[in-house]
Amino acid sequence: MSCRAAPWGRPSAPRGRPFPASARLHSPFGGMNSWKNPVLKNSWRIGDVPAMFGLPSGLFRCMASNGSGDAGFSRPQSIDEAPMPLYPWPDKQRPRVCILGGGFGGLYTALRLESLVWPGNNKPQVMLVDQSDRFVFKPMLYELLSGEVDVWEIAPYFTELLKNTSVQFVKDSVKLLRPSDHLRREPGVSCTGGIVHLESGTVVEYDWLVLALGAEAKIDVVPGSAEYALPFTTLEHALKVESELKMLERGRFGKKSPPIQVAIVGLGYSGVELAATISERLKNTGTVKAINFQTTICPNAPPGNREAALKVLESQNLQLFLGYSVNCIREVYASEDSGSMVADAKEAGGGDKKLVLELQAAQRGLQSQVLEADLVLWTVGSQSQILRLQPPDAPYVIPLNGRGQVETEETLQVKGHPRTFAIGDSAALRDPSGKFLPANAQVAFQQADFAGWNLWAAINDRPLLPFRFQNLGEMMTLGRNDAAITANFIEGLTLEGPIGHAARKLVYCLRMPTDEHRVKVGISWFAKGAVDSLASLQTAVASALSPPTTPTTAPPTAADAATNRCAMDPDSEVAFDFPPYLCQYKSGRVHRPGGDAIAPAGTDPLTGVVSKDIHAGPARARVYLPPDASAAAAPGRLPVVVYFHGGGFVVGSPARPSTHAYLNDLVARSGAVGVSVYYRLAPEHALPAAYDDGWAAVRWVLAGGDGADPWLRDHADLSRVFLSGCSAGANIAHNMAVRAAAPGAVPEGAAVRGLMAVHPYFTGKEPVGAEAAFGPDVREFMDRTWRFVFPGSLGLDDPNVNPFVTDEARAAVAGIPCERVLVCVAEDDVLLKERGLWYARELKANGYAGEIELFESKGVGHAFQFDQLGSGEGVKLQKRLVEFIKK
């Protein structure tokens, strides 16, 4: 076949009688009186989509030249319907390239086009369309569950990645494809490549199209799978799984509850990586049940990777069900009276919900099984998006194979469509042996490079190159410090364990989309690795310096050695476990599974909020300025929000990406100056260190930044200072308000106007409200936790955590100087919702004279807003906080 494509051309007006002046379009989609013209009034429709609205006449002529007549068309039902808006490309002369899908194939094709040298005026205008505002480095979604990476590292915003390019990013979903590059062209008439209808109603006319939409998870496979199973293919899926795991972990705090049970369906690469990651995370608190149709795991993986994975899985608290398929998934409830499982929640009397998987033997010699699970993850099956995007009057205009993938030539052009390319999971391409190429990131990387070059060649009328896939090897993560890599260019070599883990992260760091993002991620990962290495060194030194054990009179048996191995290694013996935040070993080493998150201060591309890290007296803080602050005509017009992050007093910081993003959003919405406080963390710095750091920062704010900080000096209204925090941060904010009541604590002219306590962390020896249903283990756990972060305290009778425990404490709380207090709780916050309600009631009952507001978020758990800031409940909570600040 010829690899030469026709040069691109602009649409020209059709020959023949021109439109009358009254019918000519005066905007990209016509004037309001367009329908009065009989030609436009009788325009055809394709289903409910106008076929001619806003389209250049040359394109319509080209499409109509197919000779299909008016079959499948109907006239519009209303002559008052407005035409669809046509996307306004900036340049009327340069080629227009539309890339659908912002995964590895789509984004890297756009970046490849940007990097090439273009002759003359041929550099194309490139539009990248994706339904999400973030690019997702999918092979590292598993590390979100293990806490190794942060969202910003593996899911940066498209606007951030493309800010130094000419690529135009559009957040939207594709509704309909209508290519025209397959139609017969009249001599001398130049036509476009086609149009794309977006869900927003916008119509995009293009010269060249790249289909990189990827595949969607196919979850509705067996009865109950769509209702009860979660896929794991997108960032939203990963955050949902993380949220579900956190809820399960928090719901078992201090309780003698059965272990968490997670079922994973499918043991290909995705299933194995999920199983290893979750099993390592749960440790002894849960069990992973992994189900696979085949009798082996990762059947298509290199033997080295498969053997390494099997070795890791067999060493963990994990059950393998090989040779089984899932017949159905259903929901049942544990009856409180009998402990039996029933299908009706009312009949169960409010018992715990469980999921039941019925397994059918797929191999001879196996018996059917019934499994229980708290969470089901589905990793098998996917479906192409292209089939549902085909025009209803021409459902096979884009050739598809039996799997719904686009049939392509070797040049990645769609068969019969010289101006349309398909790459990644959207494309069906075979290797020289006739096998379909795997749907993975490595293939998409290489195809994007070829697609970019072939687009350059096609636009410049040069020969196109046939795509040849070079399999460099395969990689998989097997836990926080474990991975397996098999390189194709060195036969028989498989890197396992920490070496494989480090090599995998290095490769993926180098594969990040832009140089700037590579540097940021590399620095962040290096810093986290340095901290972990330092902790390991500390452990090794402690072990070396520990006194030798006294030998026993009789040699120990093998059983004795196994029993005492943990006691001989202080780094294996847990001194205090504070899931999911922290684990302290007897060696003194502190392990925080989430790692140290780093989100640099600067200008936020989404909100325009500017931030900086500064010294706030003896403390440190990150200060935020809203985007319109510089437009203030007079100083002192903006309220100030002093914010304290949560994390049980043991984790977190203003630089944690979720906290940083939350403050950016709050400051942008409220128009307030934000001051997010860095406070020292327990157990390295036990309470009251965090209180002292918090008070130092509050005093610095009330003093106007000592007159040295221009943001506070020029923009802050010190008579409108608000204290806010979530969870442990809300506890700190409350205690700061109590300290502010002391005589002379607040300088003249300054005032603490309000307190916003979101999901506040309070407790006490005596249960309140629904806490009466908790067993004694919960109260004992809360007491141990509080004494861990505040060793010198009175336990649960400490006024810092039980504000109404004594008459003196009640009087101090009643005297807080705030005019208003807002208490926010979450409906599914198992541990702390009742204490939040109690705090609001007792505050009023004990003489507080100000206004108290209470707000409850429905159907969500503790601190949900950081993972679900854009959700319905997240927006409602943020709106209530903003109203409180502006009131």
Q: Are strands 716-726 and 752-758 parallel, antiparallel or unpaired?
A: parallel
Cα–Cα distance, 212 to 230 (Å, whole number)? 24
Assigned token pair, 857: 């978020």
Q: Length of the chain in residues, anyone? A: 887
Coil, strand or helix: which one is 333? Answer: strand
CB 800 within 8 A of CB 695: no
Distance (Å, whole) CA 311 – CA 97: 48
Three-class secondary structure assignment of 627-655? CCHHHCCCCCCEEEEEEECCCCCCCCCCC
Question: End-to-end alpha-carbon separation of the chain, Å?
Answer: 71
Report residue 692 CA to chain centroid gap. 34
Distance (Å, rounded) from C-alpha 48 to C-alpha 70? 15
Report which DSSP code applies to 781. H
Residue with tokens 């500064």: 614
**CA angle, residues 51, 53, 55, in degrees to nearest 5:** 90
What count of other Cβ atoms lies within 10 Å of the Cβ of residue 883? Answer: 14
Rounded CA separation 609/666 (Å): 10
Cβ atoms 576, 788 nearer than 8 A: yes
**Can you tell me which residue has the tokens 């309000």?**
754
Q: Can you point out the beta strands (E) in 85-241? A: 96-100, 125-130, 168-171, 174-179, 194-198, 203-206, 208-211, 215-217, 229-231
C-alpha to C-alpha distances, 358 to 228, 326, 374, 792, nearest whole angstrom: 13, 6, 14, 53
The DSSP 8-state label assigned to residue 426 in this structure reads G
Segment (H or E) for 451: helix 441-459
DSSP symbol at 593: T
Alpha-carbon distance of 180 to 59, in angstroms, equals: 8
Please choose, from the candidates 393, 19, 373, the residue with its C-alpha nearest in 3D space to the C-alpha of residue 230.
Answer: 373
DSSP string, 94-118: S-EEEEE--SHHHHHHHHHHHHS--
User: Of 582, 481, 581, 499, which is closest to residue 536 (Cα–Cα)?
Assistant: 481
Tell me the C-alpha to C-alpha distance, in Å, between residue 462 and each of 97, 334, 412, 620.
17, 69, 15, 59
Tokens 């049942």, residue located: 332
Tokens matching residue 512: 């990040």
Count Cβ atoms within 10 A of the Cβ of residue 188 and give its class: 0-12 exposed, 13-18 middle, 19 or more buried.
Answer: exposed
Tokens for 88, please give them: 């306004």
Query: Which residues, 6 or more positions from 722, have their beta carbon under 8 angstroms from its beta carbon?
Result: 639, 640, 641, 642, 672, 752, 753, 754, 755, 756, 884, 885
Q: Which amino acids are annotated catalytic?
A: 727, 829, 862
